[in-house]
Each structure stands twice: as C-alpha cells, then as structure tokens.
Structure 1
C-alpha cells in the first residue's frame, strides 16, 4: 500500500479513533472539535503517568517512556506510552506497550493504534516488531498483541482511508450505533440520532410527496 502525500502527518491516535468511528476521527482531527466526558478524563490522567519521559534498564530490558514515533511511508506520527527494548544476539527488539484506562474491547481500535506504533518502530529501527501489549487499567493486566498480516493490513488501510478524508477535508455523515455512540464524548456535538432521523424523515416525506404527485397526475381530468 502507498500512503497519500499530505502536508501534515496524521496522529497515530487518529487511527484508533477512525477504527472506532470515522466521523469521530474527522470531527477531532479535521474539524478540531473536542469535548470531554468521564471516560476521556480518566484516560487522560491514566496516560499522564505513562507519558512522563524517561529511560531505565533492568535485566536486559531497556524501558523508554514517551518515545516519539514516526513512519514516513504511512505519514503518521505519535508518542508511544512505553517501549521495551529486549536485548538479543542480533541487537535490541522493540516491544511497544499502550496504556488504556478500561478493559479489552470487542473492536480492534486499540490494536490498530498499537500496530501503528510497531510500524513506526520498524521503520525507525530497521528491525521487525512482531508483538506488543495493551495494558488495561481496569484489569491491571497486559494483553499481548501479535502484529500479523491481517492487523497490519487493517492498520495500513485505516491510515490510507483516513488520509484521504483529511486530504479532502471531508467529515462522514453520522451513523447511530448505541454501543459506541453512548460512550463517545462528542455525542452531543455529533447528534447522530437526531441527524439520522432527520435524514430518514426527509426521505420519507419526499417519497410520500412524489407518490401523491404521481397519483394526482393519474386522476382523470373533467
């Protein structure tokens, strides 16, 4: 895959937003709209600890906090919460760790964000990065993620699709999905239910009007 050429790189976090909801990603990263709720506030505080820059080494593992990342091929940039560099016979192997406040999700948004970090590390170190981990604050456990071909394809495809939206400056229309919309901090600004219902009712009125007009045209004239 070949990424689009854009003036500014795309934040890695935008890919996480795009997998969760393309409209949410566009509102945040194209229209620069933001609102905070309890979930985003807790996540911000949780990430604040991980983003305290620093480096330490223990038992052959070098641990770097708040490591800046970039991948020119996909035109993405970001900051890794933590990257462990594990010593081996051929050099160090990177192992990115992303901190999340909640628990594992049914969708793959968190995995895509972590995989994007791995793609950056591969380009920066010129070494393969095969696995990483998501650490969830609610469970206090790591979930190891394998960067297989399917996840890499999803991550690269998301970068290209969202890059195209950024290039066009286009925000997709809302689509109501209760399980995601109710947890979204932008739900009051996005108003997916109201806008979706308005579009549906407009279409229904237009169809009814067209039908009535057609029926009137078929009536015999005196």
Structure 2
C-alpha cells in the first residue's frame, strides 16, 4: 500500500503519539498547541540542527542538517536533525554531487535525557526507514543526542522496533482519517505536558453520573 502525499503525517508526531495518543490527536487533528519551558528549550536546541545550509565534511563522513524526508509506504514526511553519511562502497547509496557510495547514520537531537519509553527511538527508527526507502539502502543503527547529558546514545534499528513503528503509524492514520480524539487517560506525565491546560486531564476524566443520581434520587432512580 502507498499513501498519497495529501495523507502524509508528520514523523515528529510519533513521539507525541507514543507519549500520549490524546496529545497527538489534539496537536495533529485539532491543530491545538501551547508552549511551555520544555517545548521552547527544544525549539532552541533544534535551530542549528535544521539549518540545511550547514554541511560539513570530515574525512570519509559527510554531515548534513535539516534533510527533508518522506515515505509513501509509511505515509509520513518530516525533517532529520542531522544525518552523517559514511563512505561505504559495499552497502551505501549514491548521493547527488558526490562520488562513491554513502550509508546514512541519522542522529536525532533531544532536550533532557534518555527516557524509559520508546518515543525517541521510534521517531529515529521512522526517519531511518524513510531514508532507506529514498536511497535504496539498509540502515542498521542511528543515535540520539541528549542535550542534558551531552551524550550520543547509539540505537539499534531492530525489526521489533520497526514493527512498532508500522503498527503505531497504522493507528495514527486510522485516527486521523476518522478525526478521532482519544479520551483522557491521566498518567504521571500529564503535569509536564504543554497541553495540560487545554486537555484538562483531571477535569475531563470520564466519570459515571450514576452514583450522583442514585444519591440524589434514591429508589426513584431508574
């Protein structure tokens, strides 16, 4: 199956969906957004990463920023923070304006530090899958760079991780097509969410009205 460009979703939405499907739906379906300190810090960190004019060459490595990527089979589009192209005449692909074959190594920049959930790794894996489709190569590893720790953490792009990306994107496409906004499911991450004043996780948590009616009407309640 291939998606039309009009149906493409943003790759960055994978991180939102992994953290909270309702957050993703409010942002990408209802077009709701609000800034907090964490989102502003993230924007500042990404300013240089998304500068497409900033290209380096270090020996047998080309470093490119802000590459636009897409996949028709996944139905997504987006932008890579940084991609290192390593000279690899066995498993690499061709790059316009450069001799030889080059293998991409995507690097995603994140504020904070590594997380227990797979959100960042899923986003990175999806970027790699797009690059594979565009360049006709196989990418087995990428990295996450966390601003708080100033460390690059390698990520193995395994088949289970790829399957999780595919499954999540199928759900996202289904929700988007139906305009479905998931119900509130409060969790420990809610207080740090930039949309907490819009989502109102405590107020909007669905509760049954039955106990209220039973208390007020007693035996007359039907």
TM-score in terms of structure 1 length: 0.89
Could you tell me whether the CA contact under 8 Å between 1:3 and 1:160 is conserved in 2? no
Equivalent residue in structure 2 for 1:129, among 128, 139, 143: 139
Aligned length: 211
Could you tell me whether the CA contact under 8 Å between 1:134 and 1:142 is conserved in 2? yes
Cα pair distance change 1:61/1:206, threshold 3 Å: farther
Instruction: Tell me how far 1:124 sits from its aligned partner.
Output: 0.5
CA distance in 1, matches of 2:116, 2:214: 38
Give runs of aligned pairs for residues 107-122 of structure 1, distance below 5 A.
107-122=117-132
Stretches of structure 1 lacking an aligned partner (at least 5 in a row): 218-222
CA distance in 2, matches of 1:3, 1:212: 58
CA distance in 1, matches of 2:17, 2:27: 10
Give runs of aligned pairs for residues 1-222 of structure 1, distance below 5 A.
7-53=6-52, 54-90=54-90, 91-178=101-188, 180-196=189-205, 199-205=206-212, 212-213=219-220
Stretches of structure 2 lacking an aligned partner (at least 5 in a row): 91-100
Bigger RCO of structures 1 and 2 (CA < 8 A, at least 6 apart)? 1
* Structure label with greater radius of gyration: 1
Partner SS for 1:16:
helix
Question: Counting helix residues as a fraction of each chain, which structure ranks higher?
Answer: 1
CA RMSD of aligned residues (A): 1.9
TM-score in terms of structure 2 length: 0.89
Cα pair distance change 1:118/1:171, threshold 3 Å: same
